[in-house]
Amino acid sequence: MRSRSIAVGIAAALLAVAGCTEEKPPAKLPPVSVVQQPAASAGGACILWDYGLLKKTLGVTFTVAASQSIGDTSTCVVQTEGGDAPYLVLSVVESTKADAATFLDAAMPAKATKVKGLGKAGYRLVRKPARGYGHSIEIGWLSDAGQVQTLTYTFAKGAPRDQVDQGSARLVSLAKALSTTAG
């Protein structure tokens, strides 16, 4: 009988050590609050953006940002939480020795049009919908500081053409706001 009492005692001690004792329910945790980090907190080319500027210029509320840097090229992608599109990409090549003519000859796509008043040289290209997305607009320019910058805005599938046309003018305005000058 004594060995049975010892076994029960050991079992009770093991259960207590293992946390199988009766406990009070945990205190109620405070509500979770989501804090939106600024786009610039993603680093890379995202340091040039804030969500307020993008909302004011493009009329879209972006809420997610990610960046990547490889060599002298930095990128930033922003999009909404609601889906894959619309999204906006900024790419910045830190420096180039190209002049305006070389930039337009080497970087401007065949069907693009020149954009006046954007850095040393700039272009705009509207692409047709592809791969489940809507139209995209690309603005590329050689900044006065010798950086190659490219903005690409991709619309959600089915975006009306008038929205694309308005977006094109807005994207040029954003590019002008982002264009770097020689320091």
Is 34 part of a structural domain of the chain?
A: no
pLDDT digits (tens, 9 = 90+) for 127-165: 999 989 999 999 999 999 999 999 999 999 999 989 999
Mean pLDDT of 30-56: 84
Higher pLDDT residue, 29 or 99? Answer: 99
Q: For residue 1, is pLDDT > 60?
A: no
What is the pTM for the complete model shown? 0.78
For residue 146, give the CATH number of its domain: 3.40.1000
Helix residue spans in the chain (DSSP H): 2-17, 51-58, 100-107, 161-178
Which residues span the domain enclosing 120? 39-178
Specify whether the CB–CB gap between 109 and 138 falls below 8 A.
Answer: yes
Q: How many domains does the chain have?
A: 1
